[in-house]
């Protein structure tokens, strides 16, 4: 049996929007009101903090306002998300009344709207959303579909609120301590979870499928598991002054762009995992014609037997890759011992292995529930393409930041080197897809392995390899 890794692109026009010739013809009164309210809110914030910003930060603020409006016009559900985040954030600011100590005494702050309680609520909502997505895989009820998606949106709202409030809290500590909350592992893990979820919800809305949520939200839950441990065991939720290397406006644009790349690469990996589950769980006779091309006139019985052998091997490979994704965080720590493995991370790893094993055992049932191969392939491609664009931008911005901070654009620092490895990995994936028509199981495996590479570039380099970018430690 030939593997369809060089098939002809599939027509997915049924998922295309009916775009009018002029974008402004799509706008309605709600769009205009949202834009005016957003620009007014940004202007008010600028007036309040004008004395703290330089020319570059004012430019970033103006661009941020315009991008917020453009995103909400492009994907209208974001209007509700941004509105709720703004209302909750402003409520928190009003409750603080300029005194950080009120976070421990005011009920609404202590149990809901202070940054740390909000992060805890976000984590609970992400877990509940994931569980609901999985229950819906088996029950297939419209009410569960609605609930799982709404829980994900709720997590998105409360998570972005947590970041906004944390930003305000940093300035309540002291003006010179205040900074955008993307400066350490705790903050960027929150950002990673939110961006991955936001991109998934867009694709869910665009392709009208909720079955992928069960898979994509697993990587978000992995991040939440790390986040909770990092917060409780290391007290990482405490706001601390920035080290000198991070005291720059470059951080406001470099880090978010980087994590759009990380989030979409992770999304693509989980879609690739779902693609492979569909492949190993689908009987040979039910596979699309591209998978059953018989160029050498092999007897049908032999084709079925070969497919069974390939799927057995693929199942083992998937279990190993899944185990590697869950074991990777265990390696990102020094001084591991028996006590370390007997506590939190041992449970984390055991749960991960159980989840991967259960998915593989139920692969036939799960395969029937997943979208078509063409849809999965298209989401995987678009996610990697989007991530590659933003990761490229982030790398360029990082080089400019390095020139500003250290006097040279590139120094082959370990973080820079591994960023290049990640970039080359996805550049090769996209090149083979666009030039050679690479598709099928091979591209899905590649996307899944890419998450291991990205994970090491994200965490492992900071911890194991010393260098100018070694800001994190576990």
- Predicted pLDDT at 236: 78
- Predicted pLDDT at 325: 74
Quick check: 136 and 144 in contact, CB under 8 A?
yes
- Predicted pLDDT at 195: 96
Q: Which of 88, 113, 123, 114 is nearest to 197 (CA)?
A: 123
Q: What are phi and psi of 41, to 5 degrees?
A: -65, -45
- Predicted pLDDT at 1: 40
Helices 300-331, 344-361: inter-axial angle, 10-degree rounding: 170
pTM for the model stands at 0.90
- Predicted pLDDT at 334: 46
Measured distance CA(229)–CA(227) in Å, rounded: 6
Q: Which of 398, 126, 412, 465 is nearest to 261 (CA)?
A: 398
- Predicted pLDDT at 294: 63
| 474 residues of the chain, pLDDT tens digit each | 445 544 445 556 555 554 445 667 788 899 999 999 999 999 988 888 888 888 888 999 999 999 999 999 999 999 999 999 999 999 999 999 999 999 999 999 999 999 999 999 999 999 999 999 999 999 988 999 999 999 999 999 999 999 999 999 999 998 888 899 998 889 999 999 999 999 999 999 999 888 999 999 999 999 998 888 888 777 778 888 888 878 888 999 999 999 999 999 999 999 999 999 999 998 888 888 777 766 666 677 777 788 788 888 888 888 888 777 776 655 555 445 555 555 777 788 888 888 888 998 999 999 999 999 999 999 999 999 999 999 999 999 999 988 887 888 888 888 888 899 999 999 999 999 999 888 888 999 999 999 989 988 887 776 666 555 555 555
Measured distance CA(431)–CA(253) in Å, rounded: 27
Q: Which of 207, 221, 103 is nearest to 151 (CA)?
A: 221
Quick check: 191 and 256 in contact, CB under 8 A?
yes
Give the residue extent of every domain in the chain.
29-244+270-372
Measured distance CA(255)–CA(245) in Å, rounded: 14
Measured distance CA(234)–CA(332) in Å, rounded: 14
- Predicted pLDDT at 380: 96
**Distance linking the first and last C-alpha atoms of the chain:** 47
Largest CA distance in the chain: 78
Indicate the SS3 state at residue 259: helix
């Amino acid at each position: 049996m030939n593997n369809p890794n060089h098939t002809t692109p599939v027509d997915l026009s049924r998922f295309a929007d009916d775009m009018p010739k002029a974008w402004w013809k799509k706008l309605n009164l709600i769009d205009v009101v949202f834009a005016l309210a957003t620009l007014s809110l940004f202007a008010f914030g600028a007036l309040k903090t004008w004395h703290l910003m330089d020319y570059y930060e004012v430019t970033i603020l103006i661009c941020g306002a315009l991008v917020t409006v453009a995103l909400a016009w492009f994907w209208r559900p974001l209007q509700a998300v941004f509105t709720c985040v703004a209302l909750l954030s402003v409520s928190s600011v009003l409750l603080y009344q300029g005194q950080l100590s009120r976070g421990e005494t005011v009920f609404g702050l202590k149990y809901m709207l202070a940054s740390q309680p909000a992060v805890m609520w976000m984590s609970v909502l992400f877990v509940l959303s994931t569980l609901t997505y999985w229950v819906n895989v088996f029950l297939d009820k419209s009410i569960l579909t609605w609930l799982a998606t709404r829980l994900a949106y709720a997590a998105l709202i409360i998570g972005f609120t947590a970041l906004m409030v944390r930003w305000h809290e940093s300035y309540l500590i002291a003006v010179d301590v205040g900074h955008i909350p993307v400066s350490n592992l705790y903050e960027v893990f929150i950002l990673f979870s939110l961006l991955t979820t936001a991109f998934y919800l867009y694709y869910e809305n665009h392709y009208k499928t909720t079955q992928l949520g069960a898979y994509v939200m697993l990587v978000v839950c992995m991040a939440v598991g790390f986040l909770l441990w990092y917060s409780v065991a290391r007290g990482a939720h405490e706001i601390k002054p920035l080290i000198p290397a991070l005291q720059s406006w470059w951080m406001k644009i470099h880090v978010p762009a980087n994590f759009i790349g990380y989030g979409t690469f992770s999304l693509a990996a989980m879609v690739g995992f779902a693609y492979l589950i569909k492949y190993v769980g689908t009987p040979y006779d039910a596979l699309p014609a591209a998978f059953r091309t018989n160029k050498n006139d092999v007897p049908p019985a032999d084709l079925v037997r070969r497919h069974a052998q390939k799927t057995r091997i693929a199942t083992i490979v998937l279990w190993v890759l899944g185990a590697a994704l869950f074991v990777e965080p265990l390696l990102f720590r020094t001084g591991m011992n028996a006590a370390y493995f007997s506590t939190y991370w041992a449970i984390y790893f055991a749960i991960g292995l159980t989840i991967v094993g259960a998915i593989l055992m139920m692969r036939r049932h799960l395969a029937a529930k997943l979208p078509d191969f063409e849809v999965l392939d298209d989401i995987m491609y678009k996610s990697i393409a989007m991530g590659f664009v933003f990761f490229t931008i982030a790398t360029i911005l990082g080089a400019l930041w390095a020139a500003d901070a250290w006097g040279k654009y590139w120094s082959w620092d370990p973080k820079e080197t591994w960023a290049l490895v990640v970039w080359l990995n996805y550049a090769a994936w996209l090149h083979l897809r666009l030039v050679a028509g690479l598709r099928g199981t091979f591209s899905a495996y590649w996307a899944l392995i890419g998450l291991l590479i990205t994970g090491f570039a994200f965490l492992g380099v900071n911890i194991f390899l010393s260098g100018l970018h070694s800001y994190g430690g576990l």
